[in-house]
Chains A and B, each alone.
Chain A
């Protein structure tokens, strides 16, 4: 499976955010999306997730059956500011989510097994989510997508609000699920991107470009990335 973006353009008022974004993301890889503040990383995600209408261009999935539209169930989008329905308890939310996705879930587990996976403590599971901390909400949101298991996962700065242990666990988790998935991971933190991601792509001046590692060592590679970010 490939996710192909072709000549995507997006402007707000007169400000061009995405000038001409073309790229092909391949299955089984974690992509680190780097860009300066305001470079348009979130805009790009919003466009791919169809939260925003693109002005021009196209994007589609290419697999063994040829080209097809990106459907809702192909895509998961973990937001930087996680949102969960406040009136449900963690357990009720999971139960509801498992119910409505019963047919898509390949290897269903029990609700508590899912909680274990995310290391959510037993006494938090039956609390209303309006009382959850930012990090807890983040875990819940991540968990939802682990259950739904979409082919493409967009992650917008997902690790920044998690504590060290959970962040580490999450990294491990992302590495294990990357087989059969396309993971696109946007972050400001270069070390995190280098540590976790297989490929680094840079969004600069509205254009998306891969930074080829070639045979550079880490320091030289970093310098190259910074050079590209500077434009």
Chain B
């Protein structure tokens, strides 16, 4: 067993080292430091190996500290609970962990490499790694439990019992899942299936709801439960050690295609299939459109679920909200007067709302995944005049699409201002309308420009361009900051309008200059 364990740890480390070098070689500037030689230089690899092991070790301990800190201690502090609650939350959350983190049922890439690709013996591999996993869990939980247990005045024997219980619960969880698989032939892997998800959700409720009401069972019951779990786990542990189903289980578990991806790749893959699913097969009206206009109309129509239809919902939402607030202001005059004053300073808030309403991000993502990703393989599609022509058509579509909710919002704001008492300078109404519309156009242009100039994905749709992510993150952060911001209407709206106009002009100029060169698959 020791040999299998060492081999599998070695494999996992090699994988970790190579992935690390590979990732580094993808980063701008840093990639020059990491030449191909790194893969073969054993000294350099040793340094990386030490570094990775240190990182993994720290991550394991820190992970437990974060878990106990964020999931148990923090909510307790917020709710003003006492030490008894610590045992309750840990007790219930551990049940969630027992089904959500079993190791055996984790369809990991490491397992795939070892069992399927390297043909290591399944039972030996699983058991060796499982024992290692249980030991690791116990060892890494001890410091976290000691620290936080001590903070909550838990006696030492209780802390030890809780650690033992965590390990026992994991064994029981894996045992039950294994029995279920053997009986029904249905595999419940970690992170898959509604069963695991609902079990975790129920445990979360059971853990935190009693905290709100300060109602929990007497601590003796938890202690008894933990001890019972520890005793009950002995047979399941023996069972899991002797079980003969691992080979079949591995074959089945590691063959579900999507499972061999790591979490990030998996999300991307899901995103990709998700975007593909957004294609609506229904009928499409193209009128007498031809060429790229025809192409674009079909694109929009086929994506109506995420484009036109969501715009309709957004607009309806705004209209209903406006109606409710307007009618409300008739009845609650006092509140209405306050709103009226506030509204003249609240325009910055609209920036964030406009950002959230904009379909630009969704549309560019669908454009890439379902259209440009394949079309860019054709050379005619990469011609300067084609790129710019289609850019114009798309910009028009996106601006039009986003103007619908923007019109509703600006109309709504004006109506609300009127209903709550109006304003002395009628010019304000015009400013609201123009600045909201300007923001809408600004966001449309912004999203499309980012897409055309900073290609978000590479050809395999795996690596996200860092420049694009940064630009997107900054946009979000800036828009979010506007929420905290109050500014007089006249000043703010004039500034927004000026900014939008300047930005749009500059951005379009940049697009015309650089898009033909930059809009490529990388």
| A residues adjacent to B (C-beta < 8 A) | 13-15, 49-50, 72-73, 75, 77, 79, 83-88, 92, 95-96, 99-101, 128, 130, 144, 148
Q: Is A85 within 8 A of B370, CB to CB? A: yes
Q: Which residues of A contact B302 (CB under 8 A)?
A: 87-88
Q: How far is the CB of A104 from chain B (nearest CB, A)?
A: 10
B424 interface contact, C-beta 8 A: no
Q: A83-B373, A86-B370, A99-B291 are in contact. List 17 more A-B contacts (CB 8 A).
A: A13-B35, A14-B35, A72-B382, A77-B379, A83-B374, A84-B374, A85-B371, A85-B375, A87-B279, A92-B298, A96-B291, A99-B294, A100-B292, A100-B380, A101-B380, A128-B279, A148-B380
Q: How far is the CA of A100 from the CA of B302 in the complex (A)?
A: 21
Are A75 and B377 neighbours in the complex by a CB distance under 8 Å?
no
B35 contact set on A, CB distance < 8 A: 13-14
Cα(A65)–Cα(B65), bound, Å: 76
Quote the shortest CB–CB distance from A127 to chain B (angstroms). Answer: 9
Does A85 contact B279, Cβ atoms closer than 8 Å?
no
CA distance A49 to B520 in the complex (A): 14
List chain A residues, Cβ under 8 A from B292: 100
- Taking CB atoms and an 8 Å cut-off, the chain B residues in 332-387 that contact chain A are 370-371, 373-375, 377-380, 382-383
Can you sample 22 A-B contacts with CB below 8 Å? A13-B36, A14-B35, A14-B36, A15-B36, A72-B379, A73-B380, A77-B379, A79-B377, A83-B373, A85-B374, A86-B276, A86-B371, A87-B302, A87-B303, A87-B370, A87-B371, A92-B298, A96-B294, A99-B291, A100-B292, A130-B276, A144-B378
Q: Which of A49, A77, A88, A99 has the most CB of B within 10 A?
A: A88
A-B contact count (CB 8 A): 60
Chain B, 381-397, contact with A by CB distance < 8 Å: what is the 0/1 string?
A: 01100000000000000
> How many Å lie between the Cα of A51 and that of B380 in the bound state?
12
Identify the closest chain A residue to B369 (Cβ): A86
Query: Contacts A130-B276, A130-B279: A87 and B378 contacting too (C-beta < 8 A)?
Result: no
Known: A14-B36, A99-B291. Is A87-B298 also a contact (CB below 8 A)?
yes
Tell whether, in the assembled complex, residue A96 and residue B374 are in contact, meaning their CB atoms are under 8 Å apart.
Answer: no
A92 to B289, CA, bound (A): 12
Nearest chain B CB to A117 CB, angstrom units = 19
When C-beta atoms are compared, the residue in chain A nearest to B372 turns out to be A85
A101 CA / B281 CA spacing, docked (Å): 26
B299 contacts the other chain (CB 8 A): yes
**CB-CB nearest in chain A for B37:** A14
Cα distance A174–B303 in the bound complex, in angstroms: 37
Q: Once bound together, how far apart are the Cα atoms of A219 and B299, in whole Å?
A: 54
Residues of A within 8 A of B248 (CB): none
CA distance A158 to B26 in the complex (A): 31
B279 touches A86 (CB 8 A): yes
7 nearest A-B residue pairs (beta carbon)? A83-B374, A99-B291, A87-B302, A72-B379, A83-B377, A87-B370, A100-B291
**How many whole Å from A151's CB to the nearest CB in chain B?**
13
The smallest C-beta distance from A11 to any residue of chain B, in angstroms, reads 12
Chain B positions 285-326 with a Cβ under 8 Å from a chain A Cβ: 290-292, 294-295, 298-299, 302-303
Q: How far is the CB of B370 from chain A (nearest CB, A)?
A: 5
In the complex, are the beta carbons of B378 and A88 less than 8 A apart? no
Which of B35, B294, B303 has the most C-beta atoms of chain A within 10 angstroms of its own C-beta?
B294
Q: How many residues of chain B have a CB within 8 Å of chain A? A: 26
Query: Shortest CB–CB separation between residue A39 and chain B, in angstroms?
Result: 19
Q: Write out the residue numbers on chain A whose beta carbons fall within 8 Å of the beta carbon of B294.
A: 92, 95-96, 99
CA distance A206 to B294 in the complex (A): 44
Closest residue on chain B to residue A144 by CB atoms: B378
Contacts of B284 in A (CB 8 A): 92
> Which residues from B are CB-within-8-Å of A92?
284, 294, 298
Tell me how far the C-beta of A184 lies from the nearest C-beta in chain B, rounded to whole angstroms: 15
Q: How far is the CB of B367 from chain A (nearest CB, A)?
A: 10
Determine how close the nearest CB of chain A comes to the CB of B482; give it in whole angstroms: 35
- A73–B382 Cα distance when bound, in Å, is 12
Chain A residues with CB below 8 A from B279, complex form? 86-87, 128, 130
User: Please, how many angstroms separate the alpha-carbon atoms of A13 and B375 in the complex?
Assistant: 28
- Report the separation of the CA atoms of residues A35 and B35 in the bound assembly, to the nearest whole angstrom: 27
Q: Which residue of A lies closest to B277 (CB)?
A: A130
Q: Which of B209-251 contact A (CB under 8 A)?
A: none
Bound-complex Cα distance A14 to B32 (A): 12
- Residue among B374, B379, B380 making CB contact with A86, cutoff 8 Å: B374
Chain A residues with CB below 8 A from B379, complex form: 49-50, 72, 75, 77
Q: A83-B373, A86-B374, A128-B279 are in contact. Are A72 and B36 (CB under 8 A)?
A: no
A79 to B376, CA, bound (A): 12
Residues on A with C-beta less than 8 A from B298 are 87-88, 92, 96
User: A150: nearest residue on chain B (CB-CB)?
Assistant: B379
A96 touches B295 (CB 8 A): yes
In the assembled complex, the CB of B390 is this many whole angstroms from the nearest CB of chain A, namely 11
State how many angstroms separate the Cβ of B33 from the closest Cβ of chain A. 13
Q: Which of B374-433 contact A (CB under 8 A)?
A: 374-375, 377-380, 382-383
Q: Kindly state the separation between the CA atoms of A79 and B298 in the bound complex, as whole angstroms.
A: 25
What A residues does B281 contact at CB under 8 A?
Answer: 128
CB distance from B291 to the nearest CB of A (A): 5
Cα A128 to Cα B292 with chains together (Å): 18
Residues of B within 8 A of A77 (CB): 379
Complex CA–CA separation, A50 to B380 (angstroms): 12
A144–B281 Cα gap in the complex (Å)? 23
Chain B residues within 8 Å of A73, by CB: 380
Within the assembled complex, what's the spacing in Å between the Cα atoms of A87 and B280?
A: 8
CB-nearest residue of chain B to A92: B298
Give A154 Cβ to nearest chain B Cβ, in Å.
11
Q: How far is the CA of A116 from the CA of B397 in the complex (A)?
A: 35
Q: Give A95's nearest chain B residue, CB to CB.
A: B294
Nearest residue, chain A, Cβ from B299? A87
B210 CB to closest chain A CB (Å) equals 49
Which residue from chain B places its CB closest to the CB of A13 in the assembled complex? Answer: B36
- Most A C-beta atoms less than 10 A away, residue of B290, B295, B299: B295
B residues within 8 A CB of A101?
380
